[in-house]
Amino acid sequence: MYKITQKFQLNTDTFSMWIEAPLVANHAKAGQFIMLRVSETGERIPLTICDKNIKTGEVRIVFQAVGKTTIELAQKEKGEYLADFVGPLGAPTHLPVGVDAHIDPSKSTKVLVIAGGLGTAIALPQVKELYSRKIDTHAILGFRNKDLIILEDEFKASTHEVIVATDDGSNGQKGFVTDVLQNLLQRGARDGAPYALSEINSAPYDSIICIGPIPMMKAVCELTKKHDIPTIVSMNSTMIDGTGMCGCCRVTVGGEVKFACVDGPDFDGHSVDFDEAMRRNNYFASEEKRAIEVHKCKLGDAK
């Protein structure tokens, strides 16, 4: 049994939990995930490891209460327990080692992290790891409106620059993350630089990490491919076991079938078949809707 040691509500339907899981905390690396079950009769769901505390043996997860299992998870309180919490699973994100620019400016590395919605929770460990390696790290965070913004302060503490964009302009820059990126790319082209330019120091980026809804990642990769900027994306596919046996999380990358749970979840964004991934993610939409309706009915009967 895995104890919930902390619980916070970040916005209307997004929650942050710290779970007591020493073995997971000791081995987890940026980009990896866990599989959990709320109860012994519940389904398994994958959640990315948002943070860890090796000293206390705790692991942080951030999730939206939008499906049956995540709604059940959100109803759990501090001091209660989860039935299963297995991990770390998946391959860690391949991040540059980094060289302190003050020691050798010619070898400094600059990375742009683009995250949308709940993707900010998935991207946070990568950002913290990049920053710890003294890599010049910048971020673009996208949300529908100001009420949905999460983890902005954590990103500001672990990056050299954060640009927040909201669809409706209620906070930060108005528009999508692709609008912000397009402006940077256009500015880079005008100044004769091969990559996107930072608003702070006009420095070229060596690579981009993009995490969020599949349509957003697809749009970002279409832009970065034109400018030949290496781009990593995180494919959070439907999973059952997280070990590669069920095959549910398969994704086509470079014309080859890969499993997000063991080959990923990170892949070369310029090689991913995003259209296929979107179709696969919608396969169980009706079943998910039905499961939520049944769960709500049971809650009503219990009252």
Q: Is residue 118 part of a domain?
A: yes
> Which residues sit opposite 59 in a β-bridge?
19, 52
Interatomic CA distance for residues 63 and 15, integer angstroms: 6
Q: State the virtual CA torsion across 276, 281, 286, 291 in degrees, nearest 10.
A: 160
Structure tokens at 34: 């866990």
Domain finish residue from 89, 124, 147: 89
Q: Is residue 286 part of a domain?
A: no
**Which pLDDT score, from 0 to 100, does residue 195 have?**
44
Q: Is residue 269 part of a domain?
A: yes
Q: State the virtual CA torsion across 284, 141, 268, 257 in degrees, nearest 10.
A: -10
**Which pLDDT score, from 0 to 100, does residue 284 have?**
64
**Which pLDDT score, from 0 to 100, does residue 107 have?**
54
Residue range of the domain that includes 208 = 105-281
Interatomic CA distance for residues 189 and 195, integer angstroms: 8
Same domain, 25 and 153: no
Same domain, 24 and 80: yes
Same domain, 61 and 118: no
Same domain, 267 and 121: yes
Q: Is residue 100 part of a domain?
A: no
Q: Is residue 292 part of a domain?
A: no
Same domain, 81 and 176: no
Domain finish residue from 89, 116, 150: 89
Same domain, 139 and 75: no
**Which pLDDT score, from 0 to 100, does residue 300 have?**
59
**pLDDT block averages, 10 residues each, the chain of length 303:** 94 95 94 92 91 95 91 94 93 74 56 93 93 89 94 92 91 90 70 47 73 94 90 85 78 92 90 90 67 61 55
Same domain, 64 and 165: no
Domain finish residue from 89, 123, 150: 89
Q: Is residue 256 part of a domain?
A: yes
Same domain, 190 and 277: yes
DSSP secondary structure code for residue 173 in this structure: E
* 104-136: b (≥16 Cβ within 10 Å) or e: eeeebbbbbbbbbbbbbbbbbbbbbbbbebbbb
How many domains are there within the chain?
Answer: 2
Q: Are 30 and 128 in contact, with CB atoms under 8 Å apart? A: yes
Element (H, E) at 181: helix 177-190
Q: Is residue 255 part of a domain?
A: yes
Interatomic CA distance for residues 210 and 115, integer angstroms: 6
**Which pLDDT score, from 0 to 100, does residue 200 have?**
42
At which residue do the structure tokens 């951030």 appear? 62
DSSP secondary structure code for residue 245 in this structure: S
Q: Is residue 294 part of a domain?
A: no
DSSP output for 36-102? EESSTTSPPEEEE--EEETTTTEEEEEEE--SHHHHHHHT--TT-EESEEEEEESPPP-------TT
Same domain, 141 and 221: yes
Q: Residue 78 belongs to a domain with what CATH number? A: 2.40.30.10
Dihedral pair phi/psi, residue 288, rounded to 5°? -65, -40
Structure tokens at 56: 């206390």
Same domain, 71 and 15: yes
Same domain, 78 and 111: no
Same domain, 116 and 264: yes
DSSP secondary structure code for residue 194 in this structure: S
